[in-house]
Amino acid sequence: MTSRERVLAALSHRAPDRVPRDFWAEPPAWNRLLAHTGHPDRESLLEALAVDVRHLEAAAPPERPLGGGLFQNFWGERFIRKSTPWGPMREDVKGALAEAATFPDLERFPWPAPDAIDRSGLPEQCRRHERRALLYGFADVFQRPALARGWEEFFPDLLERPDWVHYLCRKFTDFYLEDYTRAAEITRGRIDLYLLISDLGSQRGPLLSGAMFRQFVAPYLKEMIDCIHGLGGRVLFHSCGLIRPFIADLIELGVDALDPIQPVGPTMQPEALQAAFGGRIAFHGGLDMQRLLPRGTPGEVTAEARRYCAALGRNGGYILGPAHLIQPDVPPENVLAMYASP
């Protein structure tokens, strides 16, 4: 099988020739891996790890320095950069809308238009990775609005100012509906997977109730999912945390694959997920980023990767990967061990 055939088979719950693989990492982690392995560039490393998915890149407007080490992106998310031995890491702080006191304050923000994204390089990337499965985007209809507003402000808004929440979610949804439509058009429908992000869980349970999920999140997810399916793509939905109570809803909404299946309790273990939802949704990721990958031995990492492949991918339905972007504290030996599994 080609990489693309392998991924599409797994997403269709058909047994591929082997479990397909995906890879993503923070920039400092990339730097550490390249220095350790001696590979000259990212593509060379991905080929060596037999990774089947390629993440397409479309340039967004540059981040704006605000002084004092603070930066802001085009959505109004604000962050600082913490140093590591392998390069800086982003750390979020309250966003540009945290001080909004009235609804017009939200309306006055210079909201970006879809023209802000430069998609001109996408066709060449598709040609370069013809045999790979292709993933596009970073659409977020709940978490990024919360980051722009500030989590401490956004959660009270759910109860006290629901119109504010809907306004913000609508802004992001409309942008990404157009972004994904334009990406599909310029690539002539070649994109296989579109990323849809909204963190819904903490490590102990959901961040919001089922009723609030259905009021503030599900309608916007549904619009995005229907759009993606209409473009001929599959939906890779990312949410960290213990989100078991939402998985049935996500299946009903049409999510094709769930990422990163963070192993934060018995109900998020691969065997439990397969027993409850196998054949109804595909799974992506799962290799623990908090303890196993940074602190385990290479042998333990390989054993856990094999466990996930056996539990979730025996008859399709699983893409191997980490339970979040690989962080710079993960030893390169453990990254290599994760992809050494069959």
Q: Is the pLDDT of residue 242 over 80?
A: yes
Q: Is the pLDDT of residue 341 over 90?
A: no
Domain that holds residue 235: 3-338
pLDDT value of position 66: 97
Task: Give 325 or 342, the one with higher predicted confidence.
Answer: 325
**Percent of the chain topping pLDDT 90:** 99
- pTM exceeds 0.85, yes or no: yes
pLDDT value of position 218: 98
**C-alpha angle with apex 225: 220 to 228, nearest 5 degrees?**
130
pLDDT value of position 314: 85
What CATH number is associated with residue 107? 3.20.20.210
How many domains is the chain built from?
1
Q: Does residue 16 have a cis peptide bond before it, meaning omega lies within 30 degrees of 0?
A: no
**How large is the average pLDDT for residues 311-324?**
95
pLDDT value of position 225: 98
pLDDT value of position 286: 97
SS3 for the chain is CCHHHHHHHHHCCCCCCCCCECCCECHHHHHHHHHHHCCCCHHHHHHHCCCCEEECCCECCCCEEEECCEEECCCCCEEEEECCCCCCEEEEECCCCCCCCCHHHHHCCCCCCHHHCECCCHHHHHHHCCCCEEEEEEEECCHHHHHHHCHHHHHHHHHHCHHHHHHHHHHHHHHHHHHHHHHHHHCCCCCCEEEEECCCECCCCECCCHHHHHHHHHHHHHHHHHHHHHCCCEEEEECCCCCHHHHHHHHHHCCCEEECCCCCCHHHCHHHHHHHHCCCCEEEEEECCCCHHHHCCHHHHHHHHHHHHHHHHECECEEEEECCCECCCCCHHHHHHHCCCC
Q: Over the stretch 70-127, which tens digit does the pLDDT of each residue have?
A: 999 999 999 999 999 999 999 999 999 999 999 999 999 999 999 999 999 999 999 9
Q: Is the pLDDT of residue 56 over 70?
A: yes
Q: Over the stretch 121-172, which tens digit does the pLDDT of each residue have?
A: 999 999 999 999 999 999 999 999 999 999 999 999 999 999 999 999 999 9
pLDDT value of position 342: 60
pLDDT value of position 243: 97
pLDDT value of position 139: 97
The mean pLDDT of the chain is 97
What pLDDT band is residue 289 in, cutting at 50, 70 and 90?
A: very high
Q: Over the stretch 174-188, which tens digit does the pLDDT of each residue have?
A: 999 999 999 999 999
Residues β-bridged to residue 72: 64, 78
